[in-house]
Chains A and B, each alone.
Chain A
Amino acid sequence: MKKIIHLTVFLAIISALAGGILGFVNQITAPIIAEKKIAAVKASLQEIFPGATEFAEITIEENDVVVNAYEATGAGYAFNVSIQGYKDVIEFIIGFDLNGKIAGLKMNYVNDTPGLGTKVGEPEFINSIVNKSVDDKLDTISGATISSKAVIEGINAAIAVFESLK
Protein backbone atom coordinates (compact mmCIF):
# COMPACT_ATOMS: atom_id res chain seq x y z
CA MET A 1 0.00 0.00 0.00
CA LYS A 2 2.78 2.37 0.98
CA LYS A 3 4.46 1.56 -2.30
CA ILE A 4 1.39 2.51 -4.32
CA ILE A 5 1.11 5.85 -2.51
CA HIS A 6 4.77 6.52 -3.16
CA LEU A 7 4.36 5.77 -6.87
CA THR A 8 1.23 7.88 -7.19
CA VAL A 9 2.80 10.82 -5.39
CA PHE A 10 5.92 10.61 -7.55
CA LEU A 11 3.94 10.57 -10.78
CA ALA A 12 1.71 13.39 -9.51
CA ILE A 13 4.74 15.55 -8.68
CA ILE A 14 6.29 14.94 -12.10
CA SER A 15 3.01 15.77 -13.83
CA ALA A 16 2.55 18.90 -11.72
CA LEU A 17 6.06 20.04 -12.61
CA ALA A 18 5.34 19.34 -16.26
CA GLY A 19 2.12 21.35 -16.04
CA GLY A 20 3.95 24.23 -14.38
CA ILE A 21 6.65 24.34 -17.02
CA LEU A 22 4.15 24.17 -19.86
CA GLY A 23 1.98 26.83 -18.25
CA PHE A 24 5.02 29.09 -18.14
CA VAL A 25 5.95 28.42 -21.78
CA ASN A 26 2.33 28.86 -22.80
CA GLN A 27 2.14 32.22 -21.04
CA ILE A 28 5.12 33.48 -23.02
CA THR A 29 4.09 32.06 -26.39
CA ALA A 30 0.28 32.45 -26.36
CA PRO A 31 0.20 36.22 -27.10
CA ILE A 32 2.87 35.84 -29.80
CA ILE A 33 0.95 33.00 -31.47
CA ALA A 34 -2.29 34.98 -31.43
CA GLU A 35 -0.51 38.02 -32.86
CA LYS A 36 1.08 35.99 -35.66
CA LYS A 37 -2.30 34.50 -36.56
CA ILE A 38 -3.96 37.91 -36.96
CA ALA A 39 -0.90 39.30 -38.74
CA ALA A 40 -1.17 36.62 -41.44
CA VAL A 41 -4.82 37.44 -42.09
CA LYS A 42 -4.24 41.16 -41.81
CA ALA A 43 -1.77 41.15 -44.68
CA SER A 44 -4.37 39.45 -46.90
CA LEU A 45 -7.13 41.81 -45.78
CA GLN A 46 -4.94 44.81 -46.46
CA GLU A 47 -4.35 43.52 -49.98
CA ILE A 48 -8.07 43.13 -50.61
CA PHE A 49 -9.01 46.50 -49.09
CA PRO A 50 -5.99 48.74 -49.72
CA GLY A 51 -7.80 51.82 -48.43
CA ALA A 52 -8.98 50.43 -45.11
CA THR A 53 -7.02 50.82 -41.93
CA GLU A 54 -9.14 49.08 -39.29
CA PHE A 55 -9.94 45.39 -39.34
CA ALA A 56 -11.89 43.36 -36.83
CA GLU A 57 -13.08 39.81 -36.66
CA ILE A 58 -16.86 39.55 -36.42
CA THR A 59 -18.93 36.64 -35.22
CA ILE A 60 -21.29 34.95 -37.65
CA GLU A 61 -23.70 32.06 -37.40
CA GLU A 62 -21.98 28.70 -37.44
CA ASN A 63 -21.32 27.65 -41.01
CA ASP A 64 -19.67 24.60 -42.58
CA VAL A 65 -17.97 26.55 -45.35
CA VAL A 66 -17.42 30.11 -44.15
CA VAL A 67 -15.02 29.79 -41.25
CA ASN A 68 -14.30 33.37 -40.17
CA ALA A 69 -15.66 36.78 -41.05
CA TYR A 70 -13.84 40.10 -40.87
CA GLU A 71 -15.05 43.65 -41.18
CA ALA A 72 -12.89 46.29 -42.80
CA THR A 73 -14.37 49.44 -41.33
CA GLY A 74 -15.91 51.61 -44.05
CA ALA A 75 -14.70 49.36 -46.86
CA GLY A 76 -16.47 46.02 -46.73
CA TYR A 77 -16.45 42.51 -45.41
CA ALA A 78 -14.14 39.57 -45.95
CA PHE A 79 -14.69 35.88 -45.32
CA ASN A 80 -12.34 33.02 -44.71
CA VAL A 81 -13.71 30.08 -46.71
CA SER A 82 -12.70 26.43 -46.52
CA ILE A 83 -14.37 24.01 -48.92
CA GLN A 84 -13.69 20.47 -50.19
CA GLY A 85 -11.98 20.59 -53.59
CA TYR A 86 -10.96 17.62 -55.71
CA LYS A 87 -8.80 15.75 -53.22
CA ASP A 88 -8.19 18.20 -50.40
CA VAL A 89 -9.79 21.32 -48.99
CA ILE A 90 -9.34 24.65 -50.75
CA GLU A 91 -8.97 27.66 -48.46
CA PHE A 92 -9.30 31.25 -49.52
CA ILE A 93 -10.24 34.72 -48.34
CA ILE A 94 -12.82 36.63 -50.34
CA GLY A 95 -13.71 40.27 -49.81
CA PHE A 96 -16.84 42.22 -50.84
CA ASP A 97 -17.03 46.00 -50.83
CA LEU A 98 -20.12 47.78 -49.56
CA ASN A 99 -21.61 48.06 -53.08
CA GLY A 100 -21.69 44.27 -53.41
CA LYS A 101 -18.68 43.99 -55.67
CA ILE A 102 -16.03 41.30 -55.20
CA ALA A 103 -13.07 43.34 -54.00
CA GLY A 104 -10.50 40.59 -53.85
CA LEU A 105 -9.83 36.88 -53.72
CA LYS A 106 -6.78 35.36 -52.11
CA MET A 107 -6.09 31.62 -52.26
CA ASN A 108 -4.46 30.37 -49.09
CA TYR A 109 -4.34 26.63 -49.63
CA VAL A 110 -4.79 24.65 -52.84
CA ASN A 111 -3.57 21.05 -52.91
CA ASP A 112 -5.41 19.63 -55.93
CA THR A 113 -3.82 18.01 -58.96
CA PRO A 114 -0.81 20.10 -60.05
CA GLY A 115 -1.43 21.68 -63.44
CA LEU A 116 -5.19 21.09 -63.34
CA GLY A 117 -6.86 21.80 -60.00
CA THR A 118 -4.14 24.26 -59.06
CA LYS A 119 -5.38 26.51 -61.90
CA VAL A 120 -7.84 28.01 -59.41
CA GLY A 121 -4.84 29.62 -57.70
CA GLU A 122 -3.61 31.28 -60.88
CA PRO A 123 -4.17 34.96 -61.71
CA GLU A 124 -6.29 34.16 -64.77
CA PHE A 125 -9.04 32.56 -62.70
CA ILE A 126 -8.78 35.05 -59.86
CA ASN A 127 -8.97 38.02 -62.26
CA SER A 128 -12.08 36.50 -63.84
CA ILE A 129 -13.81 36.76 -60.48
CA VAL A 130 -12.55 39.99 -58.94
CA ASN A 131 -14.65 43.06 -59.70
CA LYS A 132 -17.72 40.98 -60.57
CA SER A 133 -20.90 41.83 -58.73
CA VAL A 134 -22.40 39.37 -56.26
CA ASP A 135 -25.30 38.88 -58.69
CA ASP A 136 -23.11 37.90 -61.67
CA LYS A 137 -22.65 34.32 -62.80
CA LEU A 138 -19.13 33.01 -62.27
CA ASP A 139 -17.52 30.66 -64.80
CA THR A 140 -15.70 27.41 -64.04
CA ILE A 141 -12.42 26.43 -65.71
CA SER A 142 -12.40 23.50 -68.11
CA GLY A 143 -9.86 20.93 -66.96
CA ALA A 144 -10.32 22.02 -63.36
CA THR A 145 -14.10 21.78 -63.19
CA ILE A 146 -14.35 20.21 -59.75
CA SER A 147 -11.83 22.55 -58.11
CA SER A 148 -13.24 25.72 -59.69
CA LYS A 149 -16.82 24.63 -58.99
CA ALA A 150 -15.84 24.19 -55.34
CA VAL A 151 -14.35 27.68 -55.23
CA ILE A 152 -17.50 29.19 -56.77
CA GLU A 153 -19.68 27.24 -54.36
CA GLY A 154 -17.55 28.65 -51.52
CA ILE A 155 -17.93 32.17 -52.91
CA ASN A 156 -21.71 31.73 -53.08
CA ALA A 157 -21.75 30.61 -49.46
CA ALA A 158 -19.75 33.72 -48.55
CA ILE A 159 -22.21 35.86 -50.56
CA ALA A 160 -25.09 34.39 -48.56
CA VAL A 161 -23.39 35.39 -45.32
CA PHE A 162 -22.55 38.82 -46.77
CA GLU A 163 -26.19 39.42 -47.72
CA SER A 164 -27.28 38.53 -44.20
CA LEU A 165 -24.87 41.11 -42.75
CA LYS A 166 -25.98 44.03 -44.92
Chain B
Amino acid sequence: MPLLDVRDLSVTFERRGTRPVRAVDGVSFTVEPGQTVGLVGESGCGKSVTSLAIMGLLPRRGNKVTGEVRFEDTDLLTLRPKDLRDWRGRDIGMIFQDPLSSLNPVIPLGVQVAEVLERHQGRTRQAALREARELLDAVGIPDPARRLKEFPHQLSGGMRQRALIAIALACKPRLLIADEPTTALDVTIQAQILTLLKELVDDSGTALVMITHDLGVVAGLCDTVNVLYAGKVVERAYRHDLFAEPRHPYTHGLLQSVPRLDVDRGERLHQIRGSVSDNIPWPEGCAFAPRCDRLVDDCIGETVPLEPTFRGGALRCTNPVPKEVAV
Protein backbone atom coordinates (compact mmCIF):
# COMPACT_ATOMS: atom_id res chain seq x y z
CA MET B 1 0.00 0.00 0.00
CA PRO B 2 1.36 3.41 -0.87
CA LEU B 3 2.25 5.78 1.93
CA LEU B 4 0.69 8.72 0.16
CA ASP B 5 -2.00 8.34 -2.46
CA VAL B 6 -3.13 11.57 -4.06
CA ARG B 7 -6.24 11.03 -6.15
CA ASP B 8 -7.75 13.53 -8.50
CA LEU B 9 -6.60 16.49 -6.44
CA SER B 10 -7.91 19.81 -7.68
CA VAL B 11 -7.48 23.30 -6.31
CA THR B 12 -9.53 26.22 -7.56
CA PHE B 13 -8.78 29.78 -6.58
CA GLU B 14 -12.06 31.55 -6.11
CA ARG B 15 -11.54 35.22 -5.49
CA ARG B 16 -14.46 37.56 -5.44
CA GLY B 17 -14.75 39.57 -8.64
CA THR B 18 -12.46 37.34 -10.68
CA ARG B 19 -12.98 34.22 -12.74
CA PRO B 20 -12.15 31.06 -10.77
CA VAL B 21 -8.73 29.71 -11.63
CA ARG B 22 -8.06 25.99 -11.52
CA ALA B 23 -4.47 25.91 -10.33
CA VAL B 24 -4.32 22.17 -9.79
CA ASP B 25 -6.47 20.07 -12.08
CA GLY B 26 -7.02 16.45 -11.16
CA VAL B 27 -3.51 15.54 -10.06
CA SER B 28 -2.97 11.94 -9.00
CA PHE B 29 0.23 10.28 -7.88
CA THR B 30 1.44 7.88 -5.24
CA VAL B 31 4.45 7.75 -2.97
CA GLU B 32 5.65 4.41 -1.62
CA PRO B 33 7.29 4.27 1.81
CA GLY B 34 10.89 5.40 1.55
CA GLN B 35 10.51 6.45 -2.07
CA THR B 36 11.55 9.80 -3.48
CA VAL B 37 9.05 11.27 -5.92
CA GLY B 38 9.61 14.40 -7.94
CA LEU B 39 7.03 16.97 -8.95
CA VAL B 40 8.58 18.95 -11.76
CA GLY B 41 7.36 21.91 -13.72
CA GLU B 42 7.93 25.56 -14.38
CA SER B 43 6.67 28.44 -12.27
CA GLY B 44 2.90 28.52 -12.07
CA CYS B 45 2.34 24.89 -13.04
CA GLY B 46 0.72 24.15 -9.70
CA LYS B 47 3.44 22.14 -8.02
CA SER B 48 3.68 24.29 -4.89
CA VAL B 49 -0.09 24.56 -4.61
CA THR B 50 -0.27 20.77 -4.83
CA SER B 51 2.10 20.41 -1.91
CA LEU B 52 0.27 23.01 0.17
CA ALA B 53 -3.05 21.30 -0.58
CA ILE B 54 -1.64 17.96 0.58
CA MET B 55 -0.54 19.58 3.83
CA GLY B 56 -3.83 21.44 4.25
CA LEU B 57 -1.89 24.68 4.34
CA LEU B 58 -3.89 26.59 1.77
CA PRO B 59 -6.00 29.33 3.35
CA ARG B 60 -9.64 28.27 3.55
CA ARG B 61 -10.77 31.55 2.10
CA GLY B 62 -10.77 31.63 -1.66
CA ASN B 63 -9.43 28.12 -2.24
CA LYS B 64 -11.55 25.12 -3.10
CA VAL B 65 -9.77 21.81 -2.70
CA THR B 66 -11.34 18.59 -3.98
CA GLY B 67 -10.17 15.02 -4.44
CA GLU B 68 -8.46 12.73 -1.97
CA VAL B 69 -5.16 12.84 -0.16
CA ARG B 70 -4.80 9.42 1.39
CA PHE B 71 -2.03 9.11 3.93
CA GLU B 72 -2.05 5.37 4.64
CA ASP B 73 -5.73 4.89 5.50
CA THR B 74 -6.68 8.44 6.26
CA ASP B 75 -7.99 10.98 3.78
CA LEU B 76 -6.30 14.11 5.06
CA LEU B 77 -8.77 16.33 3.22
CA THR B 78 -11.66 15.02 5.32
CA LEU B 79 -9.95 15.70 8.64
CA ARG B 80 -11.01 18.67 10.70
CA PRO B 81 -8.37 21.41 10.53
CA LYS B 82 -7.71 20.94 14.22
CA ASP B 83 -7.10 17.20 13.83
CA LEU B 84 -4.89 17.69 10.80
CA ARG B 85 -2.53 19.63 13.05
CA ASP B 86 -1.76 16.34 14.82
CA TRP B 87 -0.44 14.91 11.57
CA ARG B 88 1.54 17.87 10.35
CA GLY B 89 5.02 17.97 11.77
CA ARG B 90 4.61 14.48 13.23
CA ASP B 91 3.83 12.28 10.21
CA ILE B 92 4.49 14.75 7.43
CA GLY B 93 7.23 17.33 7.54
CA MET B 94 7.68 20.15 5.09
CA ILE B 95 10.57 22.29 3.93
CA PHE B 96 10.00 25.56 2.15
CA GLN B 97 11.65 27.57 -0.54
CA ASP B 98 12.94 30.65 1.24
CA PRO B 99 14.65 29.69 4.48
CA LEU B 100 14.95 33.25 5.77
CA SER B 101 11.30 34.19 5.57
CA SER B 102 10.26 30.71 6.67
CA LEU B 103 11.86 31.14 10.08
CA ASN B 104 10.40 33.48 12.65
CA PRO B 105 12.78 36.44 12.96
CA VAL B 106 12.12 37.17 16.63
CA ILE B 107 12.35 33.66 18.10
CA PRO B 108 15.65 31.94 18.91
CA LEU B 109 16.42 29.05 16.59
CA GLY B 110 16.43 26.55 19.46
CA VAL B 111 12.84 27.30 20.37
CA GLN B 112 11.77 27.01 16.76
CA VAL B 113 13.21 23.51 16.60
CA ALA B 114 12.16 22.54 20.11
CA GLU B 115 8.53 23.57 19.81
CA VAL B 116 7.71 20.87 17.31
CA LEU B 117 9.09 18.25 19.73
CA GLU B 118 7.15 19.78 22.60
CA ARG B 119 4.01 19.70 20.52
CA HIS B 120 4.14 16.16 19.18
CA GLN B 121 6.32 14.24 21.59
CA GLY B 122 5.34 15.86 24.84
CA ARG B 123 8.89 16.92 25.64
CA THR B 124 9.57 19.61 28.19
CA ARG B 125 11.29 22.70 26.87
CA GLN B 126 14.60 21.58 28.32
CA ALA B 127 14.50 18.07 26.93
CA ALA B 128 13.35 19.43 23.59
CA LEU B 129 16.22 21.91 23.47
CA ARG B 130 18.71 19.15 24.22
CA GLU B 131 17.26 17.12 21.38
CA ALA B 132 17.25 20.19 19.17
CA ARG B 133 20.98 20.50 19.67
CA GLU B 134 21.46 16.93 18.45
CA LEU B 135 19.20 17.61 15.49
CA LEU B 136 21.16 20.70 14.47
CA ASP B 137 24.31 18.68 14.80
CA ALA B 138 22.82 15.96 12.61
CA VAL B 139 22.02 18.40 9.80
CA GLY B 140 25.58 19.66 9.89
CA ILE B 141 25.26 22.97 11.72
CA PRO B 142 28.54 23.66 13.48
CA ASP B 143 28.55 24.66 17.15
CA PRO B 144 24.87 23.80 17.64
CA ALA B 145 24.79 24.76 21.32
CA ARG B 146 25.56 28.36 20.40
CA ARG B 147 23.24 28.38 17.38
CA LEU B 148 20.29 27.37 19.55
CA LYS B 149 20.34 30.78 21.17
CA GLU B 150 20.83 32.69 17.94
CA PHE B 151 18.22 34.21 15.68
CA PRO B 152 17.64 33.40 12.01
CA HIS B 153 19.29 36.60 10.77
CA GLN B 154 22.53 35.53 12.42
CA LEU B 155 22.73 32.37 10.31
CA SER B 156 23.84 31.90 6.72
CA GLY B 157 21.33 30.87 4.07
CA GLY B 158 22.60 27.32 3.98
CA MET B 159 22.46 27.01 7.74
CA ARG B 160 18.91 28.33 7.79
CA GLN B 161 17.84 25.69 5.29
CA ARG B 162 19.61 23.05 7.37
CA ALA B 163 17.71 24.31 10.40
CA LEU B 164 14.42 24.02 8.51
CA ILE B 165 15.34 20.47 7.55
CA ALA B 166 16.07 19.75 11.21
CA ILE B 167 12.65 21.12 12.13
CA ALA B 168 10.87 19.11 9.45
CA LEU B 169 12.61 15.89 10.41
CA ALA B 170 12.54 16.43 14.18
CA CYS B 171 9.68 14.03 14.83
CA LYS B 172 10.94 11.47 12.31
CA PRO B 173 8.01 11.85 9.93
CA ARG B 174 7.32 9.13 7.38
CA LEU B 175 6.88 11.69 4.62
CA LEU B 176 8.83 14.81 3.88
CA ILE B 177 7.65 17.36 1.36
CA ALA B 178 10.37 19.66 0.07
CA ASP B 179 9.11 22.63 -1.91
CA GLU B 180 12.04 23.91 -3.98
CA PRO B 181 14.38 23.64 -1.00
CA THR B 182 17.43 24.86 -2.89
CA THR B 183 16.02 27.64 -5.05
CA ALA B 184 17.07 30.45 -2.73
CA LEU B 185 20.59 29.13 -2.17
CA ASP B 186 23.99 29.44 -3.84
CA VAL B 187 24.86 26.69 -6.26
CA THR B 188 27.55 25.22 -4.01
CA ILE B 189 25.21 25.24 -1.03
CA GLN B 190 22.48 23.70 -3.18
CA ALA B 191 24.60 20.61 -3.71
CA GLN B 192 25.35 20.31 0.00
CA ILE B 193 21.69 20.62 0.95
CA LEU B 194 20.64 18.03 -1.63
CA THR B 195 23.30 15.60 -0.46
CA LEU B 196 22.19 16.14 3.12
CA LEU B 197 18.54 15.57 2.23
CA LYS B 198 19.40 12.41 0.35
CA GLU B 199 21.46 11.05 3.24
CA LEU B 200 18.79 11.85 5.77
CA VAL B 201 15.91 10.28 3.87
CA ASP B 202 18.01 7.24 2.98
CA ASP B 203 19.07 6.72 6.59
CA SER B 204 15.66 7.22 8.13
CA GLY B 205 13.56 5.59 5.41
CA THR B 206 11.51 8.74 5.07
CA ALA B 207 9.63 9.11 1.83
CA LEU B 208 10.29 12.37 0.03
CA VAL B 209 8.20 14.45 -2.32
CA MET B 210 10.60 16.76 -4.09
CA ILE B 211 9.09 19.77 -5.73
CA THR B 212 11.43 21.47 -8.13
CA HIS B 213 11.86 23.14 -11.47
CA ASP B 214 15.42 21.92 -11.63
CA LEU B 215 15.91 18.77 -13.68
CA GLY B 216 19.36 18.38 -12.23
CA VAL B 217 17.80 17.94 -8.79
CA VAL B 218 15.46 15.33 -10.22
CA ALA B 219 18.27 13.44 -11.88
CA GLY B 220 20.24 13.27 -8.66
CA LEU B 221 17.49 12.47 -6.23
CA CYS B 222 14.18 11.13 -7.47
CA ASP B 223 13.03 7.57 -8.04
CA THR B 224 9.99 8.55 -10.07
CA VAL B 225 9.10 11.85 -11.60
CA ASN B 226 5.78 13.57 -12.28
CA VAL B 227 5.96 16.34 -14.83
CA LEU B 228 3.28 18.96 -14.27
CA TYR B 229 2.00 21.44 -16.77
CA ALA B 230 -0.82 23.91 -16.13
CA GLY B 231 -2.05 22.02 -13.09
CA LYS B 232 -2.05 18.58 -14.70
CA VAL B 233 0.35 15.67 -14.66
CA VAL B 234 1.47 15.36 -18.29
CA GLU B 235 4.05 12.63 -17.88
CA ARG B 236 5.11 10.22 -15.20
CA ALA B 237 8.05 7.85 -15.41
CA TYR B 238 10.96 6.33 -13.59
CA ARG B 239 13.82 8.75 -13.49
CA HIS B 240 15.91 6.69 -15.89
CA ASP B 241 13.09 6.27 -18.39
CA LEU B 242 12.26 9.94 -18.29
CA PHE B 243 15.76 11.08 -19.05
CA ALA B 244 16.39 8.37 -21.62
CA GLU B 245 13.11 8.59 -23.46
CA PRO B 246 10.97 11.63 -22.68
CA ARG B 247 7.66 11.10 -24.47
CA HIS B 248 5.75 14.30 -23.82
CA PRO B 249 6.86 17.21 -26.02
CA TYR B 250 6.99 19.41 -22.92
CA THR B 251 9.32 17.06 -21.06
CA HIS B 252 11.32 16.66 -24.23
CA GLY B 253 11.60 20.41 -24.59
CA LEU B 254 12.62 20.85 -20.97
CA LEU B 255 15.41 18.31 -21.29
CA GLN B 256 16.63 19.91 -24.47
CA SER B 257 16.74 23.25 -22.70
CA VAL B 258 19.27 22.04 -20.15
CA PRO B 259 22.70 23.54 -20.91
CA ARG B 260 25.22 20.86 -21.79
CA LEU B 261 28.96 20.80 -21.97
CA ASP B 262 29.19 18.44 -24.93
CA VAL B 263 27.72 20.73 -27.58
CA ASP B 264 29.65 23.04 -29.87
CA ARG B 265 30.40 26.49 -28.69
CA GLY B 266 28.12 29.18 -30.02
CA GLU B 267 25.19 26.84 -30.51
CA ARG B 268 22.06 28.43 -29.15
CA LEU B 269 20.34 26.81 -26.20
CA HIS B 270 17.02 25.24 -27.06
CA GLN B 271 13.98 26.98 -25.69
CA ILE B 272 10.30 26.19 -25.51
CA ARG B 273 8.53 29.00 -27.29
CA GLY B 274 5.88 31.09 -25.58
CA SER B 275 5.22 31.05 -21.88
CA VAL B 276 3.06 29.15 -19.45
CA SER B 277 0.42 31.86 -19.72
CA ASP B 278 -0.16 30.97 -23.41
CA ASN B 279 -3.10 28.75 -22.78
CA ILE B 280 -6.17 27.68 -24.63
CA PRO B 281 -9.16 29.47 -23.17
CA TRP B 282 -11.32 26.37 -22.77
CA PRO B 283 -10.97 23.46 -20.38
CA GLU B 284 -10.75 20.68 -22.99
CA GLY B 285 -7.66 19.93 -24.94
CA CYS B 286 -4.00 20.04 -24.08
CA ALA B 287 -2.86 23.17 -22.27
CA PHE B 288 0.57 22.86 -23.84
CA ALA B 289 -0.84 22.90 -27.40
CA PRO B 290 -0.11 26.57 -28.18
CA ARG B 291 3.58 26.01 -27.45
CA CYS B 292 3.91 22.54 -28.88
CA ASP B 293 5.98 21.59 -31.97
CA ARG B 294 4.02 18.38 -32.45
CA LEU B 295 0.57 19.95 -32.48
CA VAL B 296 -2.15 17.97 -34.30
CA ASP B 297 -5.87 18.69 -34.59
CA ASP B 298 -6.86 16.28 -31.83
CA CYS B 299 -4.78 18.19 -29.29
CA ILE B 300 -7.19 21.07 -28.94
CA GLY B 301 -10.50 19.43 -29.68
CA GLU B 302 -11.03 17.08 -26.79
CA THR B 303 -9.76 16.16 -23.38
CA VAL B 304 -6.48 14.30 -23.53
CA PRO B 305 -6.46 11.53 -20.92
CA LEU B 306 -3.50 10.42 -18.84
CA GLU B 307 -2.74 6.96 -20.25
CA PRO B 308 -0.55 4.39 -18.53
CA THR B 309 2.63 3.56 -20.42
CA PHE B 310 5.00 1.00 -18.96
CA ARG B 311 6.51 0.35 -15.52
CA GLY B 312 3.95 2.49 -13.77
CA GLY B 313 4.56 5.44 -16.04
CA ALA B 314 1.86 7.53 -17.65
CA LEU B 315 1.54 10.02 -20.47
CA ARG B 316 -0.97 12.68 -21.42
CA CYS B 317 -0.37 13.30 -25.12
CA THR B 318 -2.07 12.56 -28.45
CA ASN B 319 1.11 12.85 -30.49
CA PRO B 320 4.01 11.91 -28.22
CA VAL B 321 7.66 12.09 -29.14
CA PRO B 322 8.60 8.76 -30.77
CA LYS B 323 10.63 6.47 -28.61
CA GLU B 324 13.75 6.35 -30.75
CA VAL B 325 14.31 10.12 -30.68
CA ALA B 326 17.10 10.64 -28.23
CA VAL B 327 17.74 13.93 -26.52
Asked if A pairs with B, the answer is no
A residues whose Cβ falls under 8 Å from a Cβ of B: none
